[in-house]
Amino acid sequence: MAKINENFEKLPGSYLFAEIARRTEAFQEANPDADIIKLGIGDVTRPLVSAVREAMHEAIDEQASSDTFKGYGPYEGYAFLREAIAEHDYASRGMDIEPDEIFVSDGAKSDCGNIGDILSVDNTIAVCDPVYPVYVDSNAIEGRAGEYDVDAEEWTRIHYMPTTAENGFCPALPSGDVDVIYLCSPNNPTGTVLTSEQLKAWVDYANAHDALIMFDAAYERFITEPDIPHSIFEVEGAKTCAIEFRSFSKTAGFTGMRCGYAVIPKALVRQGQSLNELWMRRQSTKFNGASYIIQKGAAAIYTPEGAKQVEASLDYYRQNAKVIKEGLESAGLEVYGAVNSPYVWCKTPHAMGSWDFFNKLLEEAQVVTTPGAGFGPAGEGYIRLTAFGDADQTREAVERIKRIL
Ligand code: PLP
């Protein structure tokens, strides 16, 4: 008899966005004239820039001739893209990352979710709370999370690190041993960042305990403050303890195109095994490479024209983030994130529950947000708003919220 992976049965339903959609639809049905503005889900809305589109058109035309046609590509990504990444994302900021330490993929979600393939199920996992759910659920599927405690809304074997206003959105170092630590900066959902000193403490902890840091830098391009690290490899010692994930999704509007990459330094070794080699083995077994056309599009963001165009799109979202942050602050709310991130993390007024404040904003302002509690127990008492919407709609949403508060 074929048996299933029973860990799937332990997973709680993916409640958050389904529940948001359910409540939004119910409200719209009851109020057909309501003009709802959605600042909830973190998907981009700006079109692909012309440099990217033109590069992809050229790549498609290459498929018309057998001289330039591309079949299977390298598992780890084409050299032209890995070299551009090494130069523009790393060397330009003083980091020495070699192209063969970079693995191009179809996105950071796949990489964050798949990286567990090269790790033992015995590892103890630590995550921030609130957290991007992929880190937790992928470990649960692979059997590293223990049992799900419905009342606590936590897995028994996962070490949750509260990451709230009280600790400046930097989790405390664990007192016991943990083996794999997921960090995300700029953070989803809190929109906050980790400083060099804060990251250095984590790198030192990981090296001292032979632990691994999974560093998710999917929102790196939103950093505006000069001293904030864009990569964990800006921190001394990180090459012996960290893997970094990056994505073209929010950087360049690739949520539908699908492209990202992981950086696994050759110096990263556990139990005598190179994790770079293990990941190459994993990718060559289970992944046949990202699309050539998409990789050509991704490489175009590193050209002078592409870089300028992508910056203009990012500025559009950055301006939305500023509008949301300043608007909510002027309404007397306590607001975090936004400065180095497309996410605005807002404390609910009068200690209101996340879902209660979500309902209030939906019903009274017709604005959809994301309740912080959906990202973990420590997200209770917050909501997340995203800067990825239309600028006029964002301004209108903020005005409405100001009016009702
Ligand atoms: N990491 C974080 C923190 C995210 O918020 C997201 C997407 O929302 C991803 C990774 C996934 O990115 P990608 O679109 O490259 O799969």
Q: What is the spatial distance between Cα 153 and Cα 166, in angstroms, rounded to a whole number? A: 21
Which residue of 110, 127, 132 sits with most ligand 1 atoms within 8 Å of its CB, as the best mutation to test the pocket?
A: 132
Per-residue pLDDT tens over the stretch 263-280 = 999 999 999 999 999 999
Q: Would strands 343-347 and 382-386 be described as parallel, antiparallel, or unpaired? A: antiparallel
Contact between residue 174 and residue 159 where contact means Cβ atoms under 8 Å apart: yes
Instruction: Give the ligand 1 atom nearest the CA of 184.
Output: 3
Question: Ligand 1 center to residue 92 CA distance, Å?
Answer: 24
Residue range 298-323: mean pLDDT, rounded: 98
Which residue of 109, 246, 295, 384 sits with most ligand 1 atoms within 8 Å of its CB, as the best mutation to test the pocket?
A: 109
Give, using CA atoms, the residue closest to atom 7 of ligand 1.
Answer: 109
For residue 199, the tally of other CB atoms under 10 A from its CB is: 24
Per-residue pLDDT tens over the stretch 161-209 = 999 999 999 999 988 889 999 999 999 999 999 999 999 999 999 999 9
Q: What is the pLDDT of residue 109?
A: 97
Comparing C-alpha atoms, which of 220, 216, 234 is closest to residue 180?
216
State the pLDDT confidence band at 333, using cuts at 50, 70 and 90: very high
Q: Where are the beta strands (DSSP E) in 109-184?
A: 125-129, 148-149, 154-155, 158-162, 180-184
Residue 21 corresponds to which tokens in the numbers above? 């959609």
Question: Ligand 1 center to residue 228 CA distance, Å?
Answer: 20
Instruction: Give the ligand 1 atom nearest the CA of 43.
Output: 8
pTM of the model: 0.97
